[in-house]
Amino acid sequence: MERTIALIIMLTAASTAAWTQPPVLDLTGATAVATHYTPNTGDKHQAALIIDGDEETVWTGDQHDLTKLITNIFITLPEATEVGSIEVLTINAKAKIRLTELEVYAQVGDGWALLGAVADNQEERFTLPLAPAKLTRLRLRVLDTARDDHAYPRIHEIKLSGLEPGTPVAELVAGTVEGEGLAEQLFMAEALGTEETLPEGEYDPAKGYLWYVRSFADTMISEGTDCYGETHSPMFVSILGCKTHGNPGCELPPIEGQRQGDRAMRGGNLQHDLPLLVALGDLSRLTGEDKYREAADAYLGFFLENCTQTPTGLWPWGEHAHWDFYEEQVGHTIHEHLGMAPRSFWEKAWELRPEAIVGEADGLINHVVNLETFDFNRHANVLEALPEPRAEGMTFLDFPRHGGFYMGVWAFAYSKTGDEKYLDWITAMMDHFEDNTHPDSGLMRMATAERGRESARLTTAVSAGLTMLESVPLLGDTPQAERCGTMARRLITSVANLPHRLEEREFVRAAAYAGPSVVDKLKWHAPGFAAHYGGGTFLGTEARMWVLAWKLTGEQRCLDIARAMAACYAEVELLPETEHTRAQVFGTLVNLMVDMHEADGGEQWLPAAERYGQQAIGKLYYDGLFRGATNLCYYESELWVSNLVHSLLRLHAATSEGAETVDSLFFAR
Q: DSSP letters of 108-146?
A: ETTEEEEEEEE-S---SEEEEEEEEEEEEEEEEEEEE-S
Share of the chain above pLDDT 70, in %: 94
Angstrom distance (rounded) from CA 505 to CA 297:
43
CA-based torsion, 328, 332, 336, 341: positive or negative: negative
pLDDT at 191: 94
pLDDT at 39: 67
Assess whether pLDDT exceeds 60 at residue 107. Answer: yes
Average pLDDT rounded to a whole number, residues 134-148: 98
Residue in 124, 139, 147, 125 with CA at minimum distance from that of residue 67: 147
Assess whether pLDDT exceeds 90 at residue 2. Answer: no
Query: What residue ranges of the chain are covered by domains with CATH 2.60.120.260?
Result: 5-192
- Do residues 96 and 146 make contact, with C-beta atoms less than 8 angstroms apart? yes
Pairing of strands 625-626, 71-89: unpaired
Angstrom distance (rounded) from CA 188 to CA 177:
13
Angstrom distance (rounded) from CA 233 to CA 274:
17
Average pLDDT rounded to a whole number, residues 332-355: 98
Assess whether pLDDT exceeds 50 at residue 6. Answer: no
What is the overall mean pLDDT for the chain? 93
Assess whether pLDDT exceeds 80 at residue 611. Answer: yes
For 167-205, the pLDDT digits (tens) are 999 999 999 999 999 999 999 999 999 999 999 999 999
pLDDT at 397: 85
577 vs 666, more confident: 666
Q: How far apart are the first and last CA of the chain?
A: 45
3 vs 626, more confident: 626
Average pLDDT rounded to a whole number, residues 518-526: 76
Strand-pair partners of 501: 506
pLDDT at 44: 73
pLDDT at 82: 97
Q: Most confidently modeled of 391-400, 424-433, 455-464?
A: 424-433
Assess whether pLDDT exceeds 90 at residue 43. Answer: no
**SS3 label, residue 360:** helix
Assess whether pLDDT exceeds 90 at residue 368. Answer: yes
Assess whether pLDDT exceeds 60 at residue 18. Answer: no
Eight-state DSSP code of residue 629: B
pLDDT at 1: 39
pLDDT at 582: 97
pLDDT tier at 20 (50, 70, 90 boundaries)? low
pLDDT at 17: 39
Residue in 350, 349, 345, 309 with CA at minimum distance from that of residue 330: 309
Domain range 5-192, its CATH number among 3.30.470.20, 3.30.1180.20, 3.40.50.2300, 2.60.120.260: 2.60.120.260
Rg (CA), the chain: 28
- Do residues 659 and 652 make contact, with C-beta atoms less than 8 angstroms apart? yes
Assess whether pLDDT exceeds 80 at residue 13. Answer: no
Angstrom distance (rounded) from CA 251 to CA 184:
9
pLDDT at 518: 55
Range from 105-114, 140-149, 394-403 carrying the lowest mean pLDDT: 394-403
Angstrom distance (rounded) from CA 338 to CA 272:
9
Helices 208-223 and 605-620: angle between axes, nearest 10 degrees:
40
Which residues, in sequence order, are CB contacts of 303 under 8 Å at separation 6+?
235, 270, 315, 323
pLDDT tier at 448 (50, 70, 90 boundaries)? low
Range from 40-49, 275-284, 344-353 carrying the lowest mean pLDDT: 40-49
pLDDT at 519: 55
408 vs 535, more confident: 408
In whole angstroms, how far apart are CA 433 and each of 71, 84, 502?
A: 44, 65, 29
Average pLDDT rounded to a whole number, residues 289-300: 98
Residue in 3, 5, 14 with CA at minimum distance from that of residue 170: 14
For 47-92, the pLDDT digits (tens) are 999 999 999 999 999 999 999 999 999 999 999 999 999 999 999 9
Q: How many CA atoms lie within 13 A of 159 on its CB side?
A: 14
pLDDT at 21: 74
